[in-house]
Amino acid sequence: MAKLVGISGSLRKGSFNSALLRAAVAGAGADVTLEPGSIEGIPLYNGDVEAAEGIPQAVRVLKEQIQSADGVILFTPEYNNSIPGVFKNAIDWLSRPSPDIIKVFGGRPFAIAGASPGNFGTQLSQNAWLSVLHTLGAHIWSGKRLMVPRAGSVFDSDGRIIDDAIAKRLDAFVAAFADYAGSLKQER
């Protein structure tokens, strides 16, 4: 059984990426545990705050989730053709203090998915994440990426997937990544 953590990079209540994460959790197979992680409550990174107060509780909780997981899926929005600031900020906190980088990211499989109201389904944001994850030493799964374009027609007003083809692609994406992350568990 593979244990995964999924993190939505949006704080918005009606986020397509949070909806995509919820759908992934609901559709995960019997041999996959997909636990949602949250960036809610993570303050803007400030080295002075880190030195004076340490690592915030919300960061510690997310670190523990990731460290106990076989793999992580980032459900990333795309803002201005790149990574959302709140999501990058959370990853920056997760890399603090520096010795924790190896514990959180080092060799751990990461996959990238995303939903966008635009026509390209977070392609540029996903590309931008590659250099960040590479720098942190994560093992970036290159098996496939999941990009959901025109997300407004994929989800209903309650955030449920109404597009069967996307639901099947999402389930296949999670299953394939879980198999991959599970296969690497023995090597870590």
Q: Tell me the pLDDT tens digit for each residue of 141-182.
A: 988 889 999 999 999 999 999 999 999 999 999 999 999 999
Pick the CATH number of 2-185 from 3.40.50.1820, 3.40.50.360, 3.40.190.10, 2.40.30.170: 3.40.50.360
Residue 188 pLDDT: 56
- Positive or negative torsion for Cα 19, 149, 8, 103: positive
pLDDT tens-digit series, residues 80-121: 999 999 999 999 999 999 999 999 999 999 999 999 999 988
Mean residue pLDDT of the chain comes to 95
Q: For residues 103 and 154, what is the distance between their CA atoms, to the nearest angstrom? A: 36
The pLDDT of residue 143 is 84
- Going from the C-alpha of 24 to that of each of 93, 95, 104, the distances in angstroms are 25, 26, 22
Task: Show the tokens assigned to 111.
Answer: 């996959």
